[in-house]
Structure 1
Amino acid sequence: MADLDTLDLSFNKLTGQIPGPLESLKKNIKFMFLNNNSLTGEVPAWILGSRKDLDLSYNNFTGSAEQSCQQLPVNLVASHVSTGSNKISWCLNKDLVCTRKPQYHSLFINCGGSSETVGDNEYEDDTTPGGAADFASISERWGYSSTGTYIGTNDGAYKATNSYGLNVTGEGFYQTARLAPQSLKYYGLCMLAGSYKVQLHFAEIMYSNNQTFSSLGRRIFDISIQGKVVQANFNIMEEAGGVGIGIPKVFDGIIVNGSTLEIHLYWSGKGTTAVPERGVYGPLISAITVTPNFKVDNGGGLSVGAIIGIVAAPCVLAALVLLVLRKKGYLGGKDLEDKELRALDLQTGYLSLRQIKHATNNFDPANKIGEGGFGPVYKGMLSDGSVIAVKQLSAKSKQGNREFVNEIGMISALQHPHLVKLYGCCIEGNQLLLVYEYLENNSLARALFGRDEHQIKLDWQTRKKILLGIAKGLAYLHEESRLKIVHRDIKATNVLLDKDLNAKISDFGLAKLDEEENTHISTRIAGTIGYMAPEYAMRGYLTDKADVYSFGVVVLEIVSGKSNTNYRPKEEFVYLLDWAYVLQEQGNLLELVDPSLGSNYSKTEALRMLNLALLCTNPSPTLRPSMSSAVKMLEGQIPVQAPIVKRSTMNPDARFKAFELLSHDSQTHVSNGSESSQIQKSISMDGPWIDSEFSIESKDEIIDSSSTKLLKDLYDVNLD
């Protein structure tokens, strides 16, 4: 057995670990195929270190394997399952799960050939050599897997060219092709979910057309897409009417539910294998074209189709929450039968309690990463390797209404690089869980002015990047989306940071939809003291300029490294913003720059940002810029001309009236109950990044204890 050079045990439903005695083959083995079985355990080191053609793809290994996914030495694609404790690369995961937000919506590949422009499309280069056990990925955008050896020869080709000098008709990409003796899979990676048109381009270029022996070959193979056979016994020559004739096969309405599109061509033992020579058979393809059947949002606003998606998918989530709240009696409805809940269409946005328990190791305290306003938050890892944050809502939290849940449902459908993504929810028994993307560096507030052990040293370039990210996220909410949304609670606590310190806006619990035909919204006041625009705090006058004001405060905090509400250089200054006005009058704005930066910052950029902060916090909302203008100012495309606002000319009550009213009401009505008083004022000295939040019906009415809604603190997590 030690002299064996080829071992093929693929597609045999084998289970258990790879037997130790197989290591005796490593000296002489040339090809080993253990793919498409159910093998478990760890992949032996002698296999991982081999440079032979070994294929272990499509198994159930569970050991850690941090292999590069650009081009694996051994074909391990889709060979592992995630247990939550093992660390595996994306290409080893069963579903080839995208490691970032899915973003691609089209695919153009010149299979086996160099890059080529056809019309307006650039078909990408696919000239890697290929082989008997080969996987290659191109920038985590697409990849292919090739499996098998040719019968009777070790010299068979894995790329084809027009060796007979055929007068090939059709596009230039028909002059070359990629092929495999057994199985050839192409993957579209990180694809947006939706319906696609898939065009597979074929031309037979390995047989001659001169009526000699070399013209007698018959290539027959099957085609499947997304695991479904779409064409059996496909013969290129018969379909095209001869050799050297390009032909596209069109498959429309192909659905991508996750983020991966799989195109599989495979030989089932039919046709010739030795014409014109041994090794000329198996699936062959010239090019791949994938285009979306949906309107792609390129930043110009959401299409009608996208709006339908916004209304449909998130409303399933909203309806589910409403139904369960009704079942629990929180909305005054009658009990619902479990079968009605199970009958809901939960194709997106729903995870089972079992999945979440597995992801969090049964809510292990070691995985607890914080405590939000409505319960603990846990870090978890799904079986596909996705890292998630799970908010477990407390059973005692019974507040909630249809309007709020519906708005959360719609907002959860919004997709932008600088908005935290809500994945979905889980409702089983008395459990109500929210699942959203995990952000490694927690909140901007904690990074800037949290406890010493939690602070992150943010250099000047990083602070600029964070500010620009927040601005772009708000510009999307206000202007780029058809659903105009006012966040109402922009603050450093509600800006989360990913592993690369990119900013993502979170906590849409207080957000309001802004109808385009309305100049403003009259609404119950809700927000955070120190970040609220005066016209909104005093009169409930809400426009997107309220968010612009809050953004200006956050700009000050990022540049200075100080909390607007907790930093008081002198007793007469209530907020950091007051001190900024004084320094502006004195011409000393740069004194606000965080001393920890030393001289490692641009004075020109710092002045631009500080003047932008003062422009955004102008007492008059009409003088504040739009967020799209703020983005251009931050990028230096347009100048910042912050008007001088002299404190002596300001109405001294204008910015503090609501604060004083709140303080008076909080003291007057504290006897309403411990729960209400806790809701009315939640400021804490344990962590300076925790802010006071409140809600009042108008400037003349008392605090509304119903202001703290179920799900309100969706993303606002205070970590110990």
Structure 2
Amino acid sequence: MGKIVSVFVVLGFLVLNCFANFGSHAQRLPDDEVQTLQSIFRKLNFRNGQVNQTSCTEGSWNVTIDDSNGSNFTCDCTYSNNTVCHVTVILLKGFNLAGVIPEEFGNLTFLQEVDLSRNYFNGSLPKSFARLQNLTKLLILGNRLSGSIPLEIGDISTLEELVLEDNQLVGPLPENLGNLKSLRRILLSSNNFTGSIPESYGNLKNLTEFRIDGSNLTGRIPNFIGNWTKLDRLDLQGTSLEGPIPSTISQLKNLTELRISDLKGSSSSFPNLQDMKKMERLILRNCLITGRIPEYIEDMTDLKILDLSFNQLTGPVPGILQNLKKIDYIFLTNNSLSGTLPDWILTSEKNLDLSYNNFTESSPATCRESRVNILSSFSSTGSNSVSWCLKKDLPCPKEAKHYSLFINCGGSPTEFEENDYEEDLNTQGPSNFGIVSDRWAYSSTGVYVGNESSKYLAANQYGLNVSGAEYYKTARLAPQSLKYYGLCMLKGSYTVKLHFAEIMFTNDQTYKSLGKRMFDVSIQGKQVLKDFDIMEEAGGVGIGITREFKDVSVNGSTMEIHLYWAGKGTNAIPYRGVYGPLISAITVTPNFEVDTGGGLSAGAIVGIVAGSCAVVIILLFILWRLGYLGGKNVEDKELRGLDLQTGYFTLRQIKAATNNFDAANKIGEGGFGPVYKGTLSDGAVIAVKQLSSKSKQGNREFVNEIGMISALQHQNLVKLYGCCIEGNQLLLVYEYLENNSLARALFGNAITKITYTFSLHLWN
């Protein structure tokens, strides 16, 4: 029994001795490193940052917020015979840490990785990071960093990844970043950099990823990109860079993702991408590319997205595209593709958009909601079997009758100011054409970068106190192109109101409030908003604003409202895939009196003419009192002083439109002068009536017509666009109609007779 007790005593002594030795060799952080970390955490107000000498072994720092955000601290405890630890990785993502980034980071000289993405840091990027000569990753996406990138960053020879996307950095790109031979990833998108891409960046031969979307860089896309032969991904969307895409791009055989958009400069042929057989996502949008789609696309067997939209491509759709088994999205909209549309496209289960081309149909098609958007792809001269919605400019299949439009974009039916806004709840978006009866339709194109499952409808998910009408609480979105069409509309002038409210960012001091949405808007093919930022224009999020356009002409039967993302703004705040056009509601009302009975009666005509008499009498009386109706010359400045209640054109505009009143453009001769056909710089076709300013009758006719036509607003009346008064020229500018309707002819005769009768009584 005594022997057994002795054995236990010995064993106990050995165990205690082991613990004592373990304690004396515990893995600890040095005191100076503990103090540095405590100072950093205190300045950041990071509540989970309780640090001491044993924190590396306790693991109390690591906190998970979600799949992409949280904190992680990694230590290397192999120093001094496994007794000393040093922090090598600091990851603090999504904590909304504010203030400036502490300079003390530069004292943690063993750091290899720093990730401070999606916080609320402001100020400049600390120069002290240059002291971290073991640093391989510096990631600070989605903050408020301003100023320029410090030159000292170019001295971190070990740096492999530099990610500064979605900040407010300015100035030129530092040339000495080209000295970082180990650099693999450089992500600088969504900042405000200027100047060109430095030539020194041609030395970065280990690059696998380069992104510079949405910056104000200028100059040509550099030839030296051909040096980046290890490149896997290249993003050059929404810059001010000029094409053409350099031929050296053919050397980038390892590319899997290529995104270039909205280039300036002149057109060029399709770049040589023949050896890029690993390609998965190929986006060359609005790059001024001409010619045919190359057959070698078939060899990109892993291709999932092909976007060649908004170029100048010609020829047929290559049949080889149907052999791409992994393809999910094909966007070829807004080109000049022609020929017979292949049957496989009409029956495809893929998301395809071939709208706005010049195809002829191979088999009957119907207007339907589909993944295949072939809206307006067909020329109007195609087969009679072509459905109306596939024809150029969406001509009305029957008599046009609509004169207003109220849409709650992305929302349910609602009422505002006694107008009923129709619902718009279709969830489709990548390549969709949706029709709502014969009144309106929408067309959506594109897939979100970094989040291809993002939705195309938005709601007030952050509980914002949204001001204004109910329709501001929802919206329709698009990653690339969104078009609304007013269908079967009466000819005439309309007022278009576009309603916006930013509801996808927060109204607080968090990274979720730092998004910057920018897009362009065109109406009837004319750009009316450039780089439009809802939040900036409204003065914050959740604030409803309206942009009004008062004189939008419908000369056919369709009104088109186009919202387009040109690659600018953020695309990773509050998460990837939040960017592009957003609209809350659309209001369209006529600028003319609507005849709900279908025509004007003789009594209505007399009433309208009588109502216009006061305008004409006043104008004629003023001219007579000033002596302008006595045969003397009319001076431009004096006649312009009258309120003629119409638009004004310069003589230079009119001469340019009519080719200096070329006889070939003369389309008629009236009692008071010739009439010429012309085309304005925006493409509008006009008829110009030239009156003599020296004759008493010409002056009367000039003012008489302005007063009369300005007072008359009806879909069956020719519209007076405006006048020109320069020197001895008196010109009236009307809309040009190729074929006048019988109603217009009859009404015109009636007006002429009443007008001349009224004039005779006035002057006799």
Please state which band the TM-score falls in when normalised by the shorter chain: 0.3 to 0.5
Provide the TM-score with structure 2 as the length reference.
0.42
Which structure has the highest strand share of the two? Answer: 2
